[in-house]
Structure 1
Amino acid sequence: MMDFTAVPAAPDHVEYLDAAAATAAGRGYKRRFLEALDVRPGQVVLDVGCGPGTDLVRLSGAVGEAGSVVGVDRDPAMVEHARRRASGHRNVEVRRGDVHALPCADACADRVRTDRVLQHVEDPARAVAELRRVLRPGGLAGMAELDWDTLAVDDSDVETSRAVSRFMAGRVRNAVVGRQLPRLAAAAGLAVFDVDASVVVFRDFGTADQVLGLRRNVIRAVQAGVLGQRAAEDWAHRTVSGPFLATLTLFTVVAGV
């Protein structure tokens, strides 16, 4: 049974990002994302919102010794983690900076990427314009974002599942930025070359809870008066005991100049 009197503590941010990247869904989309961005030896790649450096080592290997990777993050703790993680790779540099005003010169990069960053920023349009600013002619920008309005959790009580999904989407700053990426890219002066929409599928409650925070969000929804406690308890019991299915759409866009 869930304790609806207290919200479970959110996981450590570094542990959460690493755990999400290590899931089958995380590994799969990150591989496809890197392939779509077509990173090549000798290139300069910016990883904007690099977090604890989850992808820096992989990017380092893709550009080789003749290339370079620059990770940028606004959180000093993340910058420190990323620097430690990439410390053995001489072609990697990590800078502290904001996606709305990148600490990088105009037209300095062959490739620039953001991975589930724009859903959190104050002004996604301004952030995408910054990605355009730092791209060299012929360069590519890759953006991957979830569309939280597409979250669906199967249960016999469809209305409670819908209420949970709406509540969770409402807690994300830019919940539908995934579907907006092509429009934002075009408005920034980028040519959109590829748009991919893939469905992330969760077949067990534990993984979904780890990545999506289902337990704490259901408790928050009850405390906010969005869900009745009895309905939430019954819903939680069925979803935890299984069988379980939840889906969420991930949009990946590749654009360039």
Structure 2
Amino acid sequence: MSSTLGTPPPDQASYMLRAAASDTGRAYKRQTLDLLDIRAGQTVLDVGCGPGTDLPTLAERVGDGGTVIGVDRDPGMLALARARTEDLRRVEIREGDAHALPVEPGTVDRAKADRVLMHVADPAGVLAQMYRATRPGARIGLAEPDWDTLIVDAEDLETSRAFTRYTTAEAVRHATIGRSLARLAGQAGFRVEEVLATTPVFRDVHDADHTLGLGRTMQKAIDAGHVDRDRGHRWFAGLSQGPFYASFTLVSVICSR
């Protein structure tokens, strides 16, 4: 790994697709969809569908008699989602904000939001919108990381801790949303059925740098005065020396309406 910090972030769509294709990504997504118990003929809503990563799988599960609605506010993501699902006539791609879902009240049987709430302005408001959109008996799947649990092994433990503190306090909008999912879902009116925790483990420093933004975030921490420049550069360069380990906790919540 290069010792240069501050490399440009990866293309967001490519980042999302790569994360979804990882072993951990496939495992927790499959678990979430299985627990959602999606059935043929249902209407399924994917809030913050991004490039349409999960839409083909959702379409397969609802069958010819069902409908899948993917909502995102980013025109670039929507274009990719449309291209990914152009042969799937039961998939509808809608441009819209998660805070004002373009869905009629009480029309959705299943809904999911995967790593979306940590980025939005008002997570509780988005959950209220999902409650509005779903019908009685609906099931909802939520998945979010808790970045307070981010661990990066290094000989300089204090700098690793400073990296996590900066990630939680500055780099991610709602960095601890994972631990709050069940409480927020309950406050929105949902009944919490399942709370699960997965720990993605990174042993390849390049994969970790791509997914966790180790170099980019450390450079931001240095620029903001949270970490001494020389110490931050030594920390980053040392990550590629010998066996590597990093992990964090991903929380999944299954609710009913």
What TM-score do you get using the length of structure 1 for normalisation? 0.96
Partner of 2:208: 208
What secondary structure, in the 3-state scheme, does the structure 2 residue paired with 1:181 have? helix
Asked if 1:24 is matched to 2:23, the reply is yes
Partner letter of residue 77 of structure 2?
A: M
Return the alpha-carbon distance in structure 2 between the equivalents of residues 48 and 224 of structure 1: 33
Residue ranges of structure 2 left out of the alignment (5+ in a row): none
Matches within 5 A, 1:30-179: 30-170=29-169, 171-179=171-179
Runs of 4+ in 1 over 6 A off after TM superposition: none
> Does structure 1 retain, via aligned residues, the 8 Å contact 2:109–2:137?
yes
Count of aligned pairs: 255
Partner letter of residue 253 of structure 2?
A: V
Cα deviations by residue, 1:41-100 (Å, 9 ceiling, x for unpaired): 111100000001011001111111111100000111111111111001011010001111
Partner letter of residue 156 of structure 2?
A: D
Partner of 1:183: 183
Partner of 1:232: 232
Partner letter of residue 204 of structure 1?
A: D
Return the alpha-carbon distance in structure 1 between the equivalents of residues 58 and 94 of structure 2: 16
Return the alpha-carbon distance in structure 1 between the equivalents of residues 149 and 212 of structure 2: 13
What secondary structure, in the 3-state scheme, does the structure 2 residue paired with 1:141 have? strand
Partner letter of residue 53 of structure 2?
A: T
> Does structure 2 retain, via aligned residues, the 8 Å contact 1:2–1:233?
yes
Report the CA distance between 1:106 and its aligned residue: 0.7
Partner letter of residue 108 of structure 1?
A: T
Cα deviations by residue, 1:171-209 (Å, 9 ceiling, x for unpaired): 111111111111111111111111111111111111111
Partner of 2:4: 3
Residue ranges of structure 1 left out of the alignment (5+ in a row): none
Cα deviations by residue, 1:217-252 (Å, 9 ceiling, x for unpaired): 112222222112222222122212231111110010
Partner letter of residue 178 of structure 2?
A: G
Return the alpha-carbon distance in structure 1 between the equivalents of residues 137 and 72 of structure 2: 25
What secondary structure, in the 3-state scheme, does the structure 2 residue paired with 1:192 have? strand
What TM-score do you get using the length of structure 2 for normalisation? 0.96
Return the alpha-carbon distance in structure 1 between the equivalents of residues 180 and 68 of structure 2: 27
CA RMSD of aligned residues (A): 1.1
Report the CA distance between 1:3 and its aligned residue: 3.3
Return the alpha-carbon distance in structure 2 between the equivalents of residues 134 and 177 of structure 1: 22
Report the CA distance between 1:38 and its aligned residue: 1.3
What secondary structure, in the 3-state scheme, does the structure 2 residue paired with 1:100 have? helix
Return the alpha-carbon distance in structure 2 between the equivalents of residues 189 and 217 of structure 1: 36
> Does structure 2 retain, via aligned residues, the 8 Å contact 1:205–1:242?
no
> Does structure 2 retain, via aligned residues, the 8 Å contact 1:182–1:192?
yes
Return the alpha-carbon distance in structure 2 between the equivalents of residues 188 and 219 of structure 1: 38
What secondary structure, in the 3-state scheme, does the structure 1 residue paired with 2:4 have? coil
